[in-house]
């Protein structure tokens, strides 16, 4: 037999085993730190999302309240306008009645013509309403 060098792998020594264990623990510690940082970031994101949602809800509520206030204001303006229209219509009706009651026989011809034309306009308006 010839002398052929045979390479045999030796079992790892204590020093190599300790180094391997040290690297494993270091990786575990890094993984744990990474996992902790990731968990904190995830928790922070959840909190931020909740705060954002609450903020949006507050804005939506404020907008809804403002819209309701504007609706009430418009309703009040419409009601006030209707009341003004009714008052004006009543004043016009009273004025028309006074014009219709006038005795135009005692007036000069210009006044008679003017008030006669007004009376005719009032009659025409009444006919058109009916």
Residue 8 lies in a domain: no
In terms of residue numbers, what domain contains 100?
14-129
Residue 41 lies in a domain: yes
Query: pLDDT tens, position by position, for the chain (130 residues)?
Result: 566 666 666 666 777 777 888 888 878 887 888 889 899 999 999 999 999 999 999 999 999 999 999 999 999 999 999 999 999 999 999 999 999 999 999 999 999 999 999 999 999 999 998 7
Residue 7 lies in a domain: no
Report the alpha-carbon distance of residue 30 to residue 36 in Å, rounded.
Answer: 10
Report the alpha-carbon distance of residue 126 to residue 110 in Å, rounded.
Answer: 25
In this prediction, residue 49 carries a pLDDT of 97
Residue 3 lies in a domain: no
Cβ–Cβ < 8 Å for 115, 99:
yes
Kindly report the pTM of this predicted structure.
Answer: 0.52
CB atoms within 10 A of CB 118: 16
Residue with tokens 């135009």: 104
Residue 106 lies in a domain: yes
Residue 45 lies in a domain: yes
Report the alpha-carbon distance of residue 94 to residue 105 in Å, rounded.
Answer: 21
- The total number of structural domains in the chain stands at 1
């Amino acid at each position: 037999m010839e002398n052929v060098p045979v390479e045999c792998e030796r079992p790892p020594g204590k020093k190599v085993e300790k180094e391997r264990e040290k690297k494993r623990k270091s990786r575990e510690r890094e993984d744990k730190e990474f996992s902790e940082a990731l968990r904190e970031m995830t928790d922070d994101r959840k909190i931020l999302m909740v705060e954002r949602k609450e903020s949006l809800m507050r804005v939506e509520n404020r907008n809804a309240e403002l819209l309701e206030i504007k609706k009430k204001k418009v309703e009040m303006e419409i009601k006030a306008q209707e009341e003004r229209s009714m008052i004006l219509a009543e004043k016009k009706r009273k004025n028309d009645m006074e014009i219709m009651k006038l005795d135009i026989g005692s007036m000069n011809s210009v006044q008679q013509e003017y008030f006669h034309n007004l009376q005719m306009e009032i009659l025409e308006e009444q006919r058109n309403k009916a």
